[in-house]
């Protein structure tokens, strides 16, 4: 029961919508040599491995490509959702990102870093990839906007063994963020800086709407603050920044693992981790 001083209870998302119906595709456990097709790219191949939330396929010519594990595949012309093989009760063998859990203690922090724009973005990255990042020794830092990114890069002074990865909020072609990213890439440190991002209006949108019982996030009229519009449409508190913060806290609690995120975000974060650890042996 909620305390008298908490007008929203322990989870402000609890009241309201029921979970949507089951997806049309069937779940298929990953297995070596399982042949699947990724229809959006037309790539067809056999499973050779899976790790860090990605499955690696190899076609007949030996070419390999990786894709986020989850929905969007075909087997014999039927839609399927690839899932990790189920195991019996045991100690956790995978982290929230889907990578293999290690008994090794956290590694001493590397000189390389990942900067994440947006506090909510950084908190989500920490929750899903925190164990992985501590294991490889990569520290994530909060970036308060990209306007000063060029100065931040200059101060960090990237070089071999000291790489910098940056995750930018709502990075779309033609935007201010895209122009800044392009200047960084062509700058004097560009070889050792990788700026990527997601196309979501807000990082909330990268969370599966099924976690709040909806088939899709509400449409918010242009010109209205997205978070406020979503909270209003969902019947959640939205009158103040404190209300929005309370909704985010409740929403983040509902994110259990990479399965609850849009695969497009998974792909970009995995790229960043691969980039900043490229100079360091596992």
Q: What share of the chain is helix, strand, coil (3-state, %, to 5)?
A: 30, 20, 45
Residue extents of the structural domains in the chain: 23-83, 113-207+255-277
Question: Exposure pattern of 201-210 as b/e (b: 16+ CB <10 Å)?
Answer: bbbbbbbebe
pTM of the model: 0.64
CB distance 159 to 277 below 8 Å:
no
pLDDT-based confidence at 280, cuts 50/70/90?
confident
Residue 21: helix, strand or coil by DSSP? coil
Give 74: exposed, middle or buried? Use CB within 10 Å, 0-12, 13-18, 19+.
middle
* 113-207+255-277 CATH: 3.40.50
Lowest model confidence (mean pLDDT) among 16-30, 41-55, 182-196, 262-276? 16-30
* R_g (Cα) of the chain, nearest Å: 20
* Residues 93-137: tens digit of each pLDDT: 556 555 554 544 445 678 999 999 989 999 999 999 988 888 888
* Residues 169-184: tens digit of each pLDDT: 888 899 899 999 999 9
What stretch of H or E contains 149? helix 149-156
pLDDT-based confidence at 1, cuts 50/70/90?
very low
Angle CA 55–59–62, to nearest 5: 105
Would the pLDDT of 25 be above 90? no
Query: Which of 268, 219, 275 has the alpha carbon at shortest distance from 54?
Result: 268
What is the reported pLDDT for 107?
Answer: 53
What's the CATH architecture for 23-83? Answer: Roll (2.30)
Question: 183: which residues sit within 8 A by CB, 6+ positions away?
Answer: 150
């Amino acid at each position: 029961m909620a305390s008298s001083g908490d007008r929203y209870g322990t989870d402000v998302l609890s009241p309201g919508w029921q979970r949507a119906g089951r997806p049309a595709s069937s779940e298929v456990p990953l297995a070596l040599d399982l042949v699947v097709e990724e229809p959006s790219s037309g790539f067809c191949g056999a499973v050779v491995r899976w790790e860090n939330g990605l499955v690696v396929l190899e076609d007949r010519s030996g070419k390999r490509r990786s894709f986020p594990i989850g929905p969007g595949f075909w087997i014999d012309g039927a839609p399927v959702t690839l899932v990790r093989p189920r195991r019996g009760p045991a100690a956790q063998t995978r982290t929230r990102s889907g990578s293999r859990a290690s008994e090794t203690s956290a590694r001493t922090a590397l000189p390389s870093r990942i900067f994440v724009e947006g506090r909510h973005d950084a908190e989500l990255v920490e929750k899903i990839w925190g164990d992985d990042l501590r294991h490889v020794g990569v520290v994530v830092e909060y970036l308060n906007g990209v306007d000063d990114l060029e100065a931040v890069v200059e101060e960090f002074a990237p070089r071999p063994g000291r790489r910098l990865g940056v995750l930018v909020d709502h990075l779309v072609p033609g935007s201010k963020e895209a122009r800044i990213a392009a200047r960084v890439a062509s700058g004097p440190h560009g070889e050792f800086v990788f700026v990527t991002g997601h196309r979501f209006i807000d990082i909330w949108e990268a969370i599966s709407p099924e976690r709040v019982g909806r088939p899709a996030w509400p449409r918010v009229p242009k010109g209205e603050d997205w978070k406020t519009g979503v909270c209003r449409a969902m019947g959640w508190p939205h009158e103040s920044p404190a209300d929005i913060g309370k909704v985010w806290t409740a929403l983040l609690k509902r994110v259990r693992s990479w399965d609850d995120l849009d695969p497009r975000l998974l792909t970009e974060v995995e790229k960043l981790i691969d980039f900043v650890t490229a100079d360091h042996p596992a």
